[in-house]
Structure 1
Amino acid sequence: MDDRDLPNGQALYAEQCASCHGANLEGQPDWQTPDDNGILPAPPHDETGHTWHHDNQLLFEYTLLGGEAALAVRGVDGFASGMPGFGDTLTDDDIWDILAYIRSTWPDEIQRLQAGRNLPHE
């Protein structure tokens, strides 16, 4: 799994992400049902969620900038997201390590499918 520091990614995931996305990457209950403000609960990052449906760059931007800002960069305006940006908390390398850790937990077939969503340089 690429040249990332998976133990660092796992430790940072536990510290920064697990409170919302679950210690076992299981996400919050009813993650596909928006709350009264139109915000979806934190999705799972295991193979049951949709994280693997996205390319690495979007996942990086989503983590760095937060959900609304990351989607706005891609031309999707007005999307209500509860995902904050971690650009002031985590380094770029930390974010890439977390994402590599998450990918490392997926079954081989899911890893293969997600890898196909990325440009060759990612």
Structure 2
Amino acid sequence: MSKKRFILGAVGVLVAGAAALLYYGGRDAGPAFIDPADHMLVVTGKAIYANNCAACHGEALQGQPNWRQRLPNGRLPAPPHDKTGHTWHHPDAMLFDMVKNGLVPGKTAPPGYESDMPAYAGILTDEEIVAVLAYIKSDWPPKVLQAQKEVTLQRRQ
């Protein structure tokens, strides 16, 4: 390997590391793994979900029809939060941030992305957001929940 390639590679690694530090180091790590085995948390979350989320994401977490196809306004319909969606691909801290702050382009959404997802800061407390996420996760099969737990715990290290 030439010296120039080595230096360029090292600079690339440093830039990627600095970007990760800025994103993850400059903010609260968010909640630890939100455990859907906490029955009271799930019951509380189900009621909050019904009042605040079900109108868009569905009473049974099914999301809106054709949720992967853009609407005439260019936005995407609300995705499902059951195992058929992509919610379980994200760590708990990111899910919490999306609910609390909405989808923020360049942070929790691609740059320039527009969404109908409102920010719930000032509407729901942090504890209520955690309860909603526990309820959503309580519907996932064990394999899906385990995969999401691993993603969550990896991001906290």
Query: What's the TM-score, normalizing by structure 1?
Result: 0.89
- Are residue 36 (structure 1) and residue 72 (structure 2) matched? yes
Q: Which residue of 2 aligns with 1:51?
A: 87
Larger gyration radius, structure 1 or structure 2: 2
Structure 2 gap segments, 5+ residues each:
1-35
Q: CA deviation at 1:38?
A: 1.5
- Find runs of 4+ consecutive structure 1 residues off by over 6 angstroms: none
3-state SS of 2:68 partner = coil
Structure ranking higher in helix proportion: 2
Q: CA deviation at 1:74?
A: 5.2
Task: Give the fraction of aligned pairs with identical amino acids, expressed as a percent.
Answer: 43
Query: What's the TM-score, normalizing by structure 2?
Result: 0.70
Amino acid at match of 2:143: E
Alignment coverage as a number of residue pairs:
120
Structure 1 gap segments, 5+ residues each:
none
Alignment RMSD: 2.0
Q: CA deviation at 1:77?
A: 2.1
Q: Which residue of 2 aligns with 1:84?
A: 118
User: In structure 2, how many angstroms separate the alpha carbons of the residues matched to 1:2 and 1:118?
Assistant: 16
Distance 1:53 1:7, change over 3 A: same
